[in-house]
Amino acid sequence: MTTSPLSDAIAADLKTYGMRFIGTTIVYAYLQSIGVLNAHEPGCFLHRER
């Protein structure tokens, strides 16, 4: 999965501010890198329970 409802919403909002070269996949990757999204599979040692 390379998108989420959150990344879709953020990308759409950024486009209203004139950011034309950003999309939902880039926002999704950014959200993963800063720890907002946890995209690890349940069997992965990096997966954490919430």
d(CA 45, CA 36): 18
Question: At 15, which helix (H) or strand (E)?
Answer: helix 5-16
47 is in an annotated binding site: no
pLDDT by residue (tens digit) across 7-32? 999 999 999 999 999 999 999 999 98
**Whole-structure pTM value:** 0.79
Asked whether the beta carbons of 39 and 1 are under 8 A apart, the reply is: yes
d(CA 44, CA 11): 28
pLDDT by residue (tens digit) across 26-45? 999 999 899 898 887 788 88
41 is in an annotated binding site: no
Domain that holds residue 41: 1-50
Q: Is 33 helix (H, G, I), strand (E, B) or coil?
A: helix
Query: How many domains, in total, are found in the chain?
Result: 1
